[in-house]
């Protein structure tokens, strides 16, 4: 087991966003988290890499036990240096070129020499088919290109887990496919991923396990067939049928 979360609770003012989440992720597993907006999916991801601090709960990541409510600075940095994250709105560094966006984490997070970092960054850029854009700034790139660089920025770190926070939600519909293709390729290479997504087709085709998340709780989880074709929970059924009406 690579990651285990135990009883994570998170409250914003009077609003309890996470109501005791338990979650385990195996090495190489792709976990998709689906569910209505505002249900706490993103907050859960942000608690895992300490962009938010939980009110209570604990985590075992690799061999480290971490108190989620009271992580030490070293534990936070260590966790972040073994994970990566892809954001909904890309968050590429606006003052850095595509190549620098990718090499930055190697240079400053992993103390790699600039030259070595650059050559790894070029390989990562090539993998997402954007090597010719290496000297472009984010403002010169489309959303799809930015997000694929966001993915390259994550993979180049060789992280144990990549957290995807609705990676295609801000994209033009026609650009969604390229990003999903990169993610699928990663999954096939055995990259462990937790993906918060509204792309049901991705969850169905790529995820080893799908979790239905609503009102701060995991209401149901299982493989894609179980969740999509044989949901047991009424709330899951309601959500899936509401989505189906879109098509």
Q: Judge contact between 227 and 23, C-beta under 8 A.
A: no
Interacting residue with another protein among 25, 85, 120, 210 (CB under 8 A): 85
Q: Judge contact between 53 and 132, C-beta under 8 A.
A: no
- Residue span binding another protein (CB under 8 A) among the ranges 4-12, 94-102, 182-190, 210-218: 94-102
Q: Should residue 152 be labelled a site residue for another protein when binding is judged by CB under 8 A?
A: no
Q: Should residue 157 be labelled a site residue for another protein when binding is judged by CB under 8 A?
A: yes
Q: Please give the structure tokens belonging to residue 70.
A: 């009271």
d(CA 237, CA 245) in angstroms, rounded, equals 13
How many amino acids of this chain bind another protein (CB under 8 A)? 28
Q: Should residue 77 be labelled a site residue for another protein when binding is judged by CB under 8 A?
A: yes
Interacting residue with another protein among 6, 11, 69, 137 (CB under 8 A): 137
Interacting residue with another protein among 65, 72, 119, 140 (CB under 8 A): 140
Q: Judge contact between 121 and 103, C-beta under 8 A.
A: yes
Q: Should residue 122 be labelled a site residue for another protein when binding is judged by CB under 8 A?
A: no
How far separated are the first and last CA of the chain, in Å rounded? 37
Q: Should residue 139 be labelled a site residue for another protein when binding is judged by CB under 8 A?
A: yes
Q: Could you tell me which of 155, 149, 97 has the C-alpha nearest to residue 125?
A: 149
């Amino acid at each position: 087991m690579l990651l285990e979360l135990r009883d994570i609770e998170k409250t914003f003012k009077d609003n309890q966003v996470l109501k005791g989440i338990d979650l385990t992720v195996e090495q190489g597993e792709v976990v998709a988290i689906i569910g209505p907006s505002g249900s706490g999916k993103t907050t859960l991801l942000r608690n895992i890499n300490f962009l938010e601090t939980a009110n209570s709960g604990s985590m075992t990541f690799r061999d480290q036990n971490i108190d989620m409510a009271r992580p030490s600075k070293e534990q936070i940095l260590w966790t972040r240096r073994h994970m990566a994250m892809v954001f909904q709105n890309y968050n590429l560094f606006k003052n850095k070129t595509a190549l620098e966006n990718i090499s930055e984490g190697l240079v400053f997070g992993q103390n790699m020499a600039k030259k070595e970092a650059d050559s790894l960054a070029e390989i990562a850029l090539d993998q997402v088919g954007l090597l010719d854009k290496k000297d472009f700034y984010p403002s010169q790139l489309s959303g799809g290109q930015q997000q694929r660089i966001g993915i390259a920025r994550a993979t180049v770190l060789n992280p144990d887990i990549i957290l995807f926070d609705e990676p295609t939600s801000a994209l033009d519909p026609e650009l969604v496919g390229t990003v999903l293709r990169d993610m699928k390729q990663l999954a096939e290479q055995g990259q462990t991923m937790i993906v918060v997504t509204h792309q049901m087709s991705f969850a169905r085709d790529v995820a080893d396990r799908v979790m239905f998340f609503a009102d701060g709780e995991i209401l149901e989880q299982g493989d894609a067939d179980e969740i999509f074709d044989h949901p047991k929970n009424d709330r899951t059924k309601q959500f899936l049928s509401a989505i189906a009406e879109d098509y």
